[in-house]
């Protein structure tokens, strides 16, 4: 007889949320975690520590630059980096303890060690000191997440050449920071270190930043970052880093080929993406198929090629985002309980937590063009939003894309302060299949930045009021 109804391997946002939902639905659940703390990439070396440093570095910057103009006189702020790192660690500790508490509260067993699937219904757990036990279960959910993607010719030592993990714990502010990759992680961590004093250069293989985001939004955001002091080398690749000198010397070349040059840096952050993590899981032996990109292959009910084994989160297809992993965890648990668990992949927001923030949901203008969809655009700048004006934080705009015939909102893209909060009214609207008109006729409190979202909806019908 099975000891558990469900064993979840990995306790990131996908795994621990799946375990909680399954326990709520009456299943006997265990999670397996090889890391000393629960919470996965997100809580330990991802979303949460990066947001703690983004917040602290923003306060540092504001203290130095923004307070005087509001009539608040303070002396120039001094950076105490170890104290800032402590602040970050307290945030991590609080959150991982929260997950421990939730496991206890929901009577979920935590099996410490590396999990390996022996076959459907059997997981072997090996503790750090080598002790093994085999646990029986009716179902297994793989939620082992992702790992840093490596760049050929560049060896990460997590001291001078770092991944996002090392970049969250640098011991001093590098004078010159070279970032390989103009994606979300590179731009967020670049913002942290630039605010603390680094001169930041971002090298990107493609000819634009933030591939996959709406092009107009990416262009505007690039201009804002350049104004803040970021330097970009687009259409360029890093082919190697010479570590023999006191400073690092990165070799770069045009992506399309051409003469090489070198850039000196005190630290290099490799942020070219993440790869699914399936190491030592025993998938091949258990017969669990991977797709051509090394992700665990699943059907629309999260089932792998082996009956009784499921997978969710970064280790499967789709955007590598914590909330996507969480929603898949919930849906997968509900399916296991015989319910109709479901994730709407058309309405998964993406946020970049810089200043200003960038947030988007649904289709980009490029995607609509490519699909031949007839659409209308409504745009509203924060320069015309009263609340933004009085706070003097007017960078950015809201852009809404709606179906030209039905007015149904297909995508919303925002650059601006608090964009990561503003985007959710668009998410709710889109989840309900709402139109720009629906949003435009919804009363919004004044004065709020949310009024810019309403005005963008009005602009879809060419009737924005304040523009």
Contact with ligand FAD (CB under 6 A): which of 84, 270, 325, 401?
Answer: 325
In a 3-state reduction of DSSP, which class is residue 12?
Answer: coil
399 forms part of the interface with ligand FAD (CB under 6 A): no
> β-strand 261-265 against 248-254: which pairing, if any?
antiparallel
Q: Is 424 a catalytic residue?
A: no
Question: Using an 8 Å Cβ cutoff, are 329 and 313 in contact?
Answer: yes
Beta bridge partners of 400: 378, 412
- Beta carbons within 8 Å of 124's beta carbon, 6+ residues apart: 115, 116, 117, 118, 132, 133, 134, 135, 282
Contact with ligand FAD (CB under 6 A): which of 91, 166, 313, 396?
Answer: 313
Neighbours of 144 (CB within 10 A): 30
309 forms part of the interface with ligand FAD (CB under 6 A): no
Q: Exposure pattern of 408-427 as b/e (b: 16+ CB <10 Å)?
A: bbbbbbbbbbbbbebbebbb
Question: Using an 8 Å Cβ cutoff, are 461 and 454 in contact?
Answer: no
| Listed ranges 44-52, 208-216, 217-225, 299-307: which one lies at the site for ligand FAD (CB under 6 A) | 44-52
Residue labelled with tokens 């509203």: 380
Contact with ligand FAD (CB under 6 A): which of 5, 6, 8, 50?
Answer: 50
331 forms part of the interface with ligand FAD (CB under 6 A): no
Does residue 54 have a known ligand-binding role?
no
Kindly state the tokens that stand for 141: 């959910």
Q: Which of 301, 342, 446, 466 is catalytic?
A: 446
Does residue 187 have a known ligand-binding role?
yes
368 forms part of the interface with ligand FAD (CB under 6 A): no
**Least distance in Å: CB of 447 to ligand FAD?**
28
Contact with ligand FAD (CB under 6 A): which of 146, 304, 360, 450?
Answer: 146
Contact with ligand FAD (CB under 6 A): which of 10, 181, 378, 434?
Answer: 10
**Least distance in Å: CB of 353 to ligand FAD?**
6
Contact with ligand FAD (CB under 6 A): which of 5, 214, 314, 365?
Answer: 314
**DSSP H stretches of helix in 375-418:** 386-391
Dihedral pair phi/psi, residue 110, rounded to 5°: -105, 115
Residues carrying an active site annotation: 446
Binding residues for NAD(+), by number, are: 181-188, 204, 273
* Residues at the site binding ligand FAD, with contacts judged by CB under 6 A: 9-15, 32-35, 40-42, 46-47, 50, 114-115, 143-146, 164, 185, 277, 280-281, 313-314, 320-323, 325, 353
């Amino acid at each position: 007889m099975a000891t558990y109804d469900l064993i979840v391997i990995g306790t990131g946002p996908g795994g621990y949320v799946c375990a909680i939902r399954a326990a709520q639905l009456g299943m006997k659940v265990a999670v397996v975690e090889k890391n000393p703390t629960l919470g996965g990439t997100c809580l330990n070396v991802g979303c949460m520590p990066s947001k703690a440093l983004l917040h602290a570095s923003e306060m540092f910057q504001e203290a130095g630059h923004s307070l005087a103009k509001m009539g608040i006189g303070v002396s120039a702020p001094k950076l105490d980096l170890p104290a800032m790192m402590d602040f970050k660690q307290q945030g991590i500790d609080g959150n991982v303890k929260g997950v421990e508490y939730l496991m206890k509260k929901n009577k979920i067993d935590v099996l410490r060690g590396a999990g390996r699937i022996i076959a459907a219904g059997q997981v072997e757990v090996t503790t750090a000191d080598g002790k093994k036990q085999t646990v029986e279960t009716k179902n297994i959910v793989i939620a082992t997440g992702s790992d840093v993607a490596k760049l050929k010719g560049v060896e990460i030592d997590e001291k001078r050449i770092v991944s996002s993990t090392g970049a969250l714990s640098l011991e001093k502010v590098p004078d010159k920071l070279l970032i390989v990759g103009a994606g979300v992680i590179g731009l967020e961590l670049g913002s942290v270190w630039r605010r603390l004093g680094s001169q930041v250069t971002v090298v990107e293989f493609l000819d634009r930043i933030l591939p996959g985001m709406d092009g107009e939004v990416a262009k505007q955001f690039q201009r804002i970052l350049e104004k803040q002091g970021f330097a970009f080398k687009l259409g360029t690749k890093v082919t190697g880093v010479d570590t023999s000198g006191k400073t690092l010397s990165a070799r770069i070349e045009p992506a399309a080929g051409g003469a090489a040059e070198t850039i000196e840096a005190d630290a290099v952050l490799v942020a070219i993406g993440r790869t699914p993590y399936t190491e030592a899981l025993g998938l091949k032996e258990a017969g669990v198929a991977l797709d051509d990109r090394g992700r665990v292959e699943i059907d629309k009910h999260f089932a792998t090629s082996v009956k009784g084994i499921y997978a969710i989160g970064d280790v499967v297809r789709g955007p590598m985002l914590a909330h996507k992993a969480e929603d898949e965890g919930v849906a997968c648990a509900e399916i296991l309980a015989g319910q109709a668990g479901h994730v709407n992949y058309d309405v998964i927001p993406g946020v970049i937590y810089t200043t200003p923030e960038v947030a988007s949901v649904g289709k980009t203008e490029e995607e609509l063009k490519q699909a031949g969809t007839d659409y209308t655009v409504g745009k509203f700048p924060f320069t015309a939003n009263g609340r933004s004006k009085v706070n003097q934080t007017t960078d950015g705009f809201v852009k809404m894309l709606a179906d030209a015939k039905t007015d149904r909102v297909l995508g919303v893209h925002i650059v601006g302060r608090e964009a990561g909060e503003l985007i959710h009214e668009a998410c709710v609207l889109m989840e309900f299949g709402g139109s720009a008109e629906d949003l435009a006729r919804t009363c919004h409190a004044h004065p709020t930045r949310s009024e810019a979202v309403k005005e963008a909806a009005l602009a879809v019908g060419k009737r924005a009021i304040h523009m």
